[in-house]
Amino acid sequence: MVMEKKLLIHNDKVPGINTYEVYRAHGGYASVEKALKTMTPDQVTDEVKKSGLRGRGGAGFPTGLKWSFLAKPEGVPRYLVCNADESEPGTFKDRYLMEKIPHALIEGMITASYALGARDSYIYIRGEYFYVYRILENAIKEAYAAGMLGENILGTNFSHHVHMQIGAGAYICGEETALLESLEGKRGNPRIKPPFPAVAGLWGCPTVVNNVETIAAVVPIVNEGGEAYAKIGIGKSTGTKLISASGHINKPGVYELELGLPVEEFIYSEEYCGGIRNGKKLKAVVAGGSSVPILPAELILKTAKGEPRLMTYESLGDGGFLTGTMLGSGGFIVMDEDTSIVKNLYTFARFYHHESCGQCSPCREGTGWMEKILHKFFDGTATESDVDLLWDIQSKIEGKTICPLGEAAAWPVAAAIRHFKQEFIDVAKSKKYNDVSHYNRLNKLAKV
């Protein structure tokens, strides 16, 4: 069977698709019917394994494998927790999916929970998305009224309850163990692993934490079969991916694409980003959310070997961190020729300093130092040696923290210096930072 190349947001423009009635009329909740009535939980997990689906939150870990790690001791509840804490700068795909097609997530929650044997599941959504929380809350009510949630769903022995949980502003809660701490009503401090959540997660019970897009992808996988899903994409990058495109492009927005699309086509074709705004040249791209290495134009369009770079986990990663990057969360930030890489890096450094939970000294102190040193580039006090100092600090954070926020803070600094060192030196030497007002540069309005 040949599957459609859009599986998650193909119905996003259908009027009323946010309601149960319209969603159902467009084939919604078929995966719940199919799974509960014709498949065993293990068969559902097998289809997800066959599909090759990889976690869409950023790490890209195989979902079926993650599910198979779930401990199943007798008499202990198991939980599915949906990570809707989307807060990686440059990423807004989950918000789009949940706002436009909330039932796609609820359906995925039920089908995935059936596979995992979870009677209760939680959707942890970031506090700033409170309005999306309302939308999901409403969708859950509709699903209960239609008998898709509650006791003995569709007359089967399977009962399930989806609960909403709101956050309150903390990037760190996107890290799965910090999320679980937060869901337990605590500060979002990541846990030391092992034990992994699959063994001791929410309230000490076996738990699977999956990203919104990952859970939504379970729906087409169950409907069409894992093998059909695996035929989409290239190699180990199977299926489709939601990409959040932002920055200096003509058509920012959320795009669903088949993994394997050439990066150049994604940036320049009318179907996607529509090229660089105001006829400017491309300078750099952050391809997978703020934590992945920034690449200059020549390396994002082609690998170091001169092959066209593709939107896949493998192709974006080609060359390692020396000349490659990561697909990450799919937060695709495009910068034109006038962009100051130094200033952009400063916004990232400030972000990670703000979001460090403070548990581990290398991260708590290091992120603050990096922000302060980068700030020197704007008040004219930076020297060339500050570039080396930045490099030194980032290298002392990476790999020395409980959770990956340390790496997430270090990688962008390392990559910016690796690929744009001269720009840092130039700003330091000139003692003057000429900030072009972006707003005015985009000619939206006259000067304040």
Which residue of 20, 92, 268, 313 would you call a contact of other proteins, by CB under 8 A? 92
The reply to whether 329 sits near other proteins by the rule CB under 8 A is no
Footprint on residues 340-359 left by other proteins (CB under 8 A): 343-344, 347-348, 350-351, 354-358
What are the tokens at 95?
A: 């918000």
The reply to whether 440 sits near other proteins by the rule CB under 8 A is yes
Which residue of 57, 167, 220, 233 would you call a contact of other proteins, by CB under 8 A? 167
State the nearest-atom distance from the C-beta of 220 to other proteins, in Å: 23
State the nearest-atom distance from the C-beta of 130 to other proteins, in Å: 5
Which residue of 237, 244, 303, 325 would you call a contact of other proteins, by CB under 8 A? 244
Q: Which is nearer to other proteins, 70 or 285 (CB)?
A: 285
- 331-336 vs 240-247, strand pairing mode: parallel
Q: Which is nearer to other proteins, 25 or 168 (CB)?
A: 168
The reply to whether 128 sits near other proteins by the rule CB under 8 A is yes
Buried b / exposed e over 222-245, threshold 16 CB at 10 Å, is: bbbbbebbbebbbeebbbbbbbbb
The reply to whether 187 sits near other proteins by the rule CB under 8 A is yes
Which residue of 121, 246, 312, 394 would you call a contact of other proteins, by CB under 8 A? 246
Q: Which is nearer to other proteins, 158 or 351 (CB)?
A: 351
The reply to whether 15 sits near other proteins by the rule CB under 8 A is no
Listed residue (404, 44, 23) closest to 208, CA to CA: 44
Which residue of 114, 171, 313, 420 would you call a contact of other proteins, by CB under 8 A? 171
Which x/- pattern, by CB under 8 A, does the window 72-91 give for other proteins? -----x--------xxxxxx
Handedness of CA 426, 430, 431, 435 (dihedral sign): negative
Q: Which is nearer to other proteins, 154 or 168 (CB)?
A: 168
Which residue of 15, 73, 185, 194 would you call a contact of other proteins, by CB under 8 A? 185
Beta-carbon contacts of 163 under 8 Å, excluding residues fewer than 6 positions away, are: 120, 121, 122, 123
Footprint on residues 249-308 left by other proteins (CB under 8 A): 252-254, 286, 290
